[in-house]
């Protein structure tokens, strides 16, 4: 692991095509970048040795390209939400290793590129992931309620990539009680690195996120603003949303085994009995 225990917060850029990105080599399994495109702008995407999930956060696009072992693909005019805070699921595109694609913006667009190691020995086709195929659910209760959309869960085909988005109402907590997945000990717990890509509504707001381990070798509390990225190499990672603002985050997870099994912080597990 190349990541220092500090500087888990990656600040976003207010202008330009590149919104925020995780630098190469920071995590062993997870890669992430978010982009904003204007009408007619193109974003070329190449997966190389990785698999990718392109999540259309907002706007409309054409996607075309080619992937090993299948004919060229084209998905025109996809996307129907104006904001991640709409009560609807996104469109997404899965790209296996050694794929090439081009995204063309048909409106103002926000798009995320999620990456994880691919397995060229297990060939999967490129595919469009439609909103109606995604499971939506609520988790928690009272001021711990949040709303989840499984974009690429472990029940759907991929090599190592897991992608989910979560909306958290004003004044609520999320990823709470604090939980972790940093031990390769299935079926009890899986080792998964993770990133949190945040948006806040209204956009001048902020949320709080803490990342900490049992031994406190990592213990960082962050004020996270709109479009910022939080890196979770290991440890617990709860989020708290101040009154008056609502939170969105896109989670990307990957590790040596594609399974999501977590453990709650035992100091706070009593909260589950409330």
Cα–Cα distance, 71 to 66 (Å, whole number): 7
Q: What confidence tier does 7 reach under pLDDT thresholds 50, 70, 90?
A: confident
- DSSP letter, residue 39: T
Q: Which residues pair with 61 in a beta bridge?
A: 78, 105
User: Alpha-carbon distance 94 to 53, whole Å?
Assistant: 5
Render pLDDT for 42-58 as a digit per residue (tens, 0 to 9): 999 999 999 999 999 99
- Strand-pairing partners, residue 53, are 94, 114
pLDDT tens digit sequence for 200-229: 999 999 999 999 999 999 999 999 999 999
Q: b/e map of 32-54 (b: 16 or more CB within 10 Å)?
A: bbbbbbeeeeebebebeebbbbb
> Which CATH number, 1.10.3720.10, 3.40.47.10, 3.30.2130.10, 2.60.120.10, labels domain 9-273?
2.60.120.10
Tokens for 211, please give them. 């990342």
pLDDT for residue 6: 53
Residue 3's pLDDT is 43
Q: Where are the alpha helices (DSSP H) in the chain?
A: none
Domain ranges, ordered by start, for the chain: 9-273
């Amino acid at each position: 692991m190349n990541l220092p225990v500090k500087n888990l917060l990656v600040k976003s850029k207010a202008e330009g095509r590149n919104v925020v990105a995780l630098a190469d080599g920071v995590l062993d399994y997870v890669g992430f970048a978010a982009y904003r495109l204007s009408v007619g702008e193109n974003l070329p995407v190449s997966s190389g040795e990785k698999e990718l999930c392109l999540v259309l956060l907002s706007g409309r696009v054409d996607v075309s390209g080619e992937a090993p072992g299948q004919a060229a693909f084209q998905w025109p005019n996809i996307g129907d939400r104006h904001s991640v805070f709409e009560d609807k699921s996104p469109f997404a595109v899965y790209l296996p290793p050694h794929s090439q694609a081009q995204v063309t913006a048909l409106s103002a667009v926000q798009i995320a590129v999620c990456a994880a190691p691919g397995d060229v020995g297990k060939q999967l086709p490129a595919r469009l992931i439609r909103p109606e195929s995604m499971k939506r659910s609520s988790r928690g209760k009272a001021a711990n309620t949040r709303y989840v959309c499984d974009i690429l869960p472990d029940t759907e085909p991929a090599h190592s990539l897991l992608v989910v988005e979560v909306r958290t109402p004003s004044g609520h907590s999320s990823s709470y009680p604090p939980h972790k997945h940093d031990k390769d000990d299935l079926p009890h717990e899986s080792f998964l690195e993770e990133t949190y890509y945040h948006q806040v509504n209204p956009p001048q707001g902020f949320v709080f996120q803490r990342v900490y381990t049992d031994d406190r070798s990592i213990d960082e509390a962050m004020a996270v603003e709109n479009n910022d990225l939080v890196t979770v190499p290991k440890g617990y990672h709860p989020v708290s949303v101040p009154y008056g603002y609502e939170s969105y985050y896109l989670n990307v997870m990957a590790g040596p085994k594609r399974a999501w099994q977590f453990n709650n912080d035992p100091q706070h597990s009593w909260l589950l009995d409330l």
